[in-house]
Every structure is written in structure tokens, then in C-alpha cells.
Amino acid sequence: MKKHMKGVIATTNFLSLLKVLSRKRIRIINHILLVDVVAIILTILYMVYRGNLNTEDPLGITVSYSFIVLFVAFILIARDNETVFVSDCYRLIPTSDTKLYMANILAAVISMLYLGVTQVIFSMLAMLTNLNEVIKSVQRSFSYMAAHSSSEWGNTGFLINLTIALIVLTFALAVFSWASVSTVHLITTTLTSFLPDTRSRLFRLVLYVVVVGLLIYIISYTVQPLANIFTGIVSKNDYLQVYVGASVLLVFGIVESVINVYLMRSWVETANN
């Protein structure tokens, strides 16, 4: 406990929790980034050795690995989230479950934001190998979309607003996804605590499938009416539709978070890890 909670025992305010949890997540991200950099360099060197490296390949390689890195990071951060919710190391801190839950989710968001910034930096560095051609390619793409679309792809203000909307949507999707994972995990953990130990593993698998199925059914059944409510206040600007999607995801994420905090407070037993 001392290993993880150094500096938090004396003061357990929100910022203290956030600092400790964020530091742990950043370490996870740094390990992933190390593997990412090594993979990019080795791939480029291999293509140089084969003699088929083009000027646009460094950017393509970097972006391709970014998708893998983001997926792996999301899984590892989600797993670390769930460890916090059921671990004595964190649950025995003299703080509220709500504060612990919010700090945990925010630390996950901060770590993924850090990862996203590093991936943008990596891509920008890769662009330097063929910057002029990349700029021309982007200009051609936007010119084509502006000529073949009824939206405002040629408008700089619209593009800025759309970029911001997509960032907000990404944030909402991450929060919703982590909250959904936690809901499934905490409900399953609660139910399996009532089962005999000899049958827990079999029933845990069945319960995971059942809980996931029910959660998907509930969300799919209610998402459209909720989306219609938000859509009614949206103008013709396409980027506002992205905010609609983000709002729907955040509403579900908040509802799931309330359920998760209740389960943590009333039903979920901690493990000594």
C-alpha cells in the first residue's frame, strides 16, 4: 500500500488522487511509446534495407502504428482502471468512492491525451521527410471534398469547428467506453460474489456474456430517442451533428458512472492487490 500511496495517505483530496493515478498511467503510456518508436525505426530500416522506401512511407508507417498503439493503450488503461476499483490499495484510502471514480477516469483521459499529443508529434516529424507533397495532398483532398459536397469543407472556420467537435467526440467516446467496461466488470463482480467458488469461473464467463448483451440492448434501444432530442436543436452545420453524438455518449457515460459508483459503494468487495 505504501508503494502506491506514498504522498496520498496524509492528504486524500481529489488532486492528490489524480496525481498518483495519472503518474501510474503515464508510465504505462511511456512503455507503449518506447515500443512504438522502436517498431517505427525498425520498419523504416527494414524498408531501407529492401530498397523500397519512398518519401511518403515514414508518415504512412507512423500513422499505421498509431492506430495499433491507441488500441493497445486503451485496453491497458481500461484494465488498470478496473484494478483500481477492486483493489485494497486504493479502495481503503479515506476518500469517497465518487471522488476515487472521477479521479480514476480523469487520469485515464489525461494519459490518452498525452498519448494523442505524442502521436501527433511523431506524425509531424514523419511529415518533414516529404512536407511539400503532404501539403499538396491535403489541399487536393479538401478541394475535392469542397467541390463534391454540400457542406462547408472549403471554409476554414468550419474545418476548425469540425476538428474541435471531433476532439470532443473522441473524449466522450473514451469516457463512455471506460464507463461501459466498468459497468460490465462491476456488475459481474457483484453477481459472482454470490456464487460458490467452485463454479465462479464458469458462471463469470456466462455472466459477462449476459451483462454485455443486456447493456448493448439497453443502449441500442434508448440511443435513438435521445439522439432525436438533441438533433432537434441542431442547425444545418454538419459539425454540430458530431456534438450530438458526443452528447449522447456523455449522457450514457454519466448514467453508467452513477451505477458504477453505487456498485462500488454498496456491493463490490475489494481484493488484496
Neighbours of 246 (CB within 10 A): 22
> How confident is the model at residue 143, as a pLDDT?
65
pLDDT of the chain, 273 residues: tens digit per residue: 444 444 444 446 888 889 999 999 999 999 999 999 999 999 999 999 888 888 778 888 999 999 999 999 999 999 999 888 888 788 778 888 899 999 999 999 999 999 999 999 999 898 887 777 777 776 666 665 555 555 555 566 667 777 788 888 888 888 888 998 899 888 888 887 776 664 556 667 777 788 778 777 777 766 665 555 455 444 455 667 778 778 888 888 999 999 999 998 888 776 655
Contact 70, 120 (CB under 8 A): no
Backbone CA torsion sign across 86, 88, 90, 91: positive
> How confident is the model at residue 164, as a pLDDT?
83
Question: How many Å apart are CA 224 and CA 80, to the nearest integer?
Answer: 32
Angle at 103 between CA 223 and CA 30, to 5 degrees: 100
Nearest to 156 by CA among 139, 171, 169: 139
Beta-ladder partners of 87 = 271
> How confident is the model at residue 67, as a pLDDT?
93
Beta-ladder partners of 271 = 87
pTM for this entry: 0.79
